[in-house]
Structure 1
Amino acid sequence: MITAVGGHGGYPGGKQFVSADQLRDKLSYLRHEKALIIKLVDIVDFNGSFLARVRDFAGANPIILVITKVDLLPRDTDLNCIGDWVVEAVVKKKLNVLSVHLTSSKSLVGVTGVISEIQQEKKGRDVYILGSANVGKSAFISAMLRTMAYKDPVAAAAQKYKPIQSAVPGTTLGPIQIEAFLGGGKLYDTPGVHLHHRQAAVIHADDLPSLAPQSRLRARCFPANDTDVGLSGNSLFWGGLVRIDVVKALPRTRLTFYGPKKLKINMVPTTEADEFYEREVGVTLTPPAGKEKAEGWVGLQGVRELQIKYEESDRPACDIAISGLGWVAVEPLGVPSSNPDESAEEEDNESGELHLRVHVPKPVEIFVRPPLPVGKAASQWYRYQELTEEEEELRPKWHY
């Protein structure tokens, strides 16, 4: 079992988690039983919290995909765009799901829709809720029971259930049964899955709260406007956890950061970046917070070279998602430059190619993905998939 401390990173407060392999072993019997799987994914960490190979133990059982924490998305985000983006990502991952639900356990957005589909689809099946660590599973179960309690006395009684918090050391946690349905079938809470490639797996337990956004994400842009210095030749530090070297970029390139506010962003010339990090990690660059933690820090030894092309000038080229933290949108800034020097530079770089070097702690993963359509402007540049009637019929629907 993965404990909260020691060599397994910063999972806090007595919570204990299982590895993905342990969960697959524990739930392997589901392949031979009738069950309904509710799979949770955190929208702020979509790629990092997306459990892979669920079909290994789910077999042919139906899966409902629940996206959590949509209340944290930037203000004026169109959830229709988000729903379409998520469905397209799921189709590309070749995961066959009944439907996609965008939810918030805080505001209860989408929770009623999930309950309705569970009631419609369970047909006497047991219901299993699963997700990676810190995906919001406990909050979702509480929100679901609270909503169901208005009509279901069994669910009302189940509200006293406390989601999995601890276990006897040295044992592997299994699913916990909850009496939640009046009409038959059980609800099972499963332990959160520790994924080694997320930032929470490498930082100290004391620093873990700094990774959790507490309010709506706000875009933090570099450069802030088209009169500021360009990015080429500079390095941006996202706390002490990420470094992005801009080796080559168009003059109008902007990097927009979406993630927890507690992590500050600092920009320095790349020629000074190594010295700056060594001097400021644990001080200006946190987490790790404090020189004592910085001395035992693993550093940013995972490096990935990214060659990115702008296909269109009116929308972001892509997102760079950092597992367990958030993402950086790579986007054009403003209108074509009237500066002759910059115009010449753009002509020299006709392909519109950017070269970035991203540093993270090992084994944190870096994902390059289509841009998540957040904020008011996204509804103008986001393009829904063009589908035939047959494709539309087969494609899972999204709800919120």
Structure 2
Amino acid sequence: MNLTEEELFCIGCGAKIQTENADERGYTPNSALAKGIETGQLLCQRCFRLRHYNQLEKVEATDDEFLAMLNSIGDEDALVVKVVDIFDMYGSMIPGLHRFVGKNPILIVGNKVDVLPRSVKHSRVTHWMMKQARAAGLRPVDAMLVSGKKATYIDDLLKKVEELREGRNVYVVGVTNVGKSTIMNQIIKAATGNNEDVITTSQFPGTTLDQIRIPLDDGSSLIDTPGIIHRHQMAHVLSEKDLHLVSPQKELKPMTYQLNAGQTLFLGAIARFDYVLGERASFTGYFSNDLKIHRTKTEKADAFYDKHKGGLLQPPSETEIEQFPKLVRREFVVKEPTDIVFSGLGWIAVHKPGKVAVWVPEGVDAVIREPII
């Protein structure tokens, strides 16, 4: 087949299919091309291996290329669905998104509601999401919570999208690793009754490489855009195995620690929290239930880390700790109840005034925010 006569696209990541260069995006062997066209399941080699063997092949795609794909949204009348990870709202924001979307309405969708503690009121979280979005320069028309993994509230999302789009195209946008394509698959399943995933998903950043258009009955489209790479997330310094371990998979069980000034909490070997100054106080950690937390005295913390990283303190494992970035220190003075967020990992709720320090891998963000709970 002459691909210059008919353009074909991978149904998994949206990349244009080509058969010439195995190192570039969209590559599909000639042997798989005809079968993919015949079955309507045309996948590039990268998506095929990821879907069937969980092997991810890196394909070069610059941040500028990803951002350029969003430029066209502001030029048309459309609804924009912005997906965020409710455990990392700051790390989920796309810098300058308000300039890309123009005057188009924005619906904020918070993913991973299934791992929130049951005691948390969803109305409080959506109100908090709206406030955080406005602080980032957005003016969302509404906010919703869903679970891409469990398909929770997907039907409600479909109804809300139909209500807001008014016959227009719908663009689904988000940074990498927030579960955007997983939500898209759940929307497609709910709308079509097809229980197979269409869009390739994984915990690896940057799985979707181009726009994926799903036709709607009225002639408009639901469009999955590439995840914008936010390089300050924990996902960019962890292996696949470790990323799965620290990404919450079930309802969180918050852990509260009574600390005196001069005590430290290690979050595996990937982060650290020091209580520097203040009265004895409680600190509540919201992290994956599989992440092991260890307490020690701050004066002994450096030696403790050097001795136990990769062993007692995991992840990373002993075989991966040597390539892991060094931890860098950031200090915060807390005057009121505050969340200290480790981007892409979780957060520690600080309930009383004091001075704290956090240590995160070089290049990963740690920020303070208004409490979510």
Identity of aligned residues (%): 31
Question: How far off is 1:135 after superposition?
Answer: 1.0
After alignment, is 97-106 or 67-76 more displaced?
97-106
Are residues 1:304 and 2:335 paired?
no
Query: The residue matched to 1:292 in structure 2 has which SS?
Result: coil
Instruction: State yes or no: 1:234 paired with 2:253.
Output: no
Do the aligned partners of 1:48 and 1:322 also contact (CA within 8 Å) in 2? no
- SS of the equivalent of 2:316 reads coil
Q: Secondary structure at the match of 2:90?
A: coil
Quick one: structure 1 residues 254 and 193, their matched pair in 2 at CA, closer, same or farther if it must change by over 3 Å? same
1:35 paired with 2:63, answer: no
Contact 1:65 1:97 in 2 (8 A): yes
Equivalent pairs, count: 318
Assess if the C-alpha contact under 8 Å between 2:264 and 2:297 holds in 1. yes
Contact 1:50 1:132 in 2 (8 A): yes
- How far apart are 1:172 and its partner, in Å? 9.3
Please give the per-residue CA displacement for 1:126-173, whole angstroms capped at 9, x wherever unaligned. 211122222112221122122223xxxxxx46x65621459xxxx992
- 1:174 is displaced (CA, Å) by 1.6
Q: Which runs of 5+ in 1 are unaligned?
A: 5-11, 150-155, 224-229, 311-316, 333-352, 374-400
1:19 and 1:194 in contact (8 A); partners too: no
Which one of 161, 171, 181 corresponds to residue 128 of structure 1?
A: 171
Q: Report what 2:246 is aligned to.
A: 211
1:95 aligns with 2:124: no
Deviation at residue 205 of structure 1 after TM alignment = 3.1
| Contact 2:248-2:288 within 8 A present in 1 as well | yes
- Indicate the larger mover: 260-269 or 122-131: 122-131
Q: CA deviation at 1:265?
A: 0.8
Q: Which residue, out of 345, 357, 362, partners 1:325?
A: 345
Say which SS state the counterpart of residue 75 (structure 1) adopts.
coil
Counterpart of 1:137? 180
Partner amino acid for 1:247?
V
| One-letter amino acid of the counterpart of residue 95, structure 1 | L
CA distance, structure 2, for counterparts of residue 365 and residue 45 of structure 1: 10
Letter in 2 for 1:14: L
Q: Is the 8 A contact 2:134 2:140 kept in 1?
A: no
Tell me whether 1:175 sits opposite 2:211 in the alignment.
yes
Regions of 4+ moved over 6 Å: none
* Residues 173 and 224 in structure 2, CA contact (< 8 A), matched pair in contact too: yes
Higher-RCO chain (CA-CA 8 Å, sequence separation at least 6): 1
How many angstroms does 1:35 deviate by?
A: 2.1
Counterpart check, 1:14 vs 2:40:
no
How large is the RMSD of aligned CA atoms in angstroms? 2.5
Alignment partners' CA distance in 1, 2:148 and 2:92: 17
Residue 256, structure 1, aligned to residue 284, structure 2? yes
Question: Is the contact made by 2:341 and 2:348 (CA closer than 8 Å) also made in structure 1?
Answer: yes
Structure 1 residue aligned with 2:104: 61
Q: Which residue of 2 aligns with 1:359?
A: 359
In structure 2, the partner of 1:313 is none
1:271 aligned to 291, 299, 320, which one? 299
Which residue identity lines up with residue 174 of structure 2 in the other structure? G
The equivalent of 2:308 in structure 1 is: 280
Describe the SS at the equivalent of 1:84: helix
Q: Does 1:292 align with 2:319?
A: yes
Question: How does the TM-score come out when normalised to structure 1?
Answer: 0.74
| Structure 2 CA distance for partners of 1:84 and 1:275, relative to 1, 3 Å | same
> Contact 1:19–1:193 (CA<8 Å) still a contact in 2?
no
Measured in 2, the distance between the counterparts of 1:209 and 1:319 equals 23
Q: Which runs of 5+ in 2 are unaligned?
A: 1-23, 26-45, 47-53
**Aligned equivalents of 1:109 and 1:188: distance in 2?**
21
**How much has 1:272 moved relative to structure 2?**
0.8
How many angstroms apart in 2 are the aligned matches of 1:160 and 1:188?
18
Could you tell me how far 1:15 is from its partner in structure 2? 7.0
How far the C-alpha of 1:178 sits from its partner, in A, is 1.6
For 1:222 and 1:367, locate their aligned partners in 2 and report how far apart those are by CA, in whole Å: 20
Q: AA paired with 1:201?
A: H
Cα gap change, 1:258 to 1:13, in 2 (>3 Å)? farther
Q: Secondary structure of the equivalent of 2:319?
A: helix
**What TM-score, normalized by structure 2, do the two folds share?**
0.79
One-letter amino acid of the counterpart of residue 56, structure 1: R
Pick aligned residue for 1:163 from 199, 205, 226: 199
Amino acid in the other structure paired with 1:327:
W
**Alignment partners' CA distance in 1, 2:285 and 2:122:** 20
In the other structure, the counterpart of 1:377 is none
Q: How far 1:20 moved relative to its partner?
A: 4.9
Question: Are positions 1:368 and 2:368 aligned together?
Answer: yes
Q: Amino acid of the residue matched to residue 258 of structure 1? A: Y
Which residue does 1:51 correspond to in 2? 94
CA contact (8 A) 1:129 1:189 kept: yes
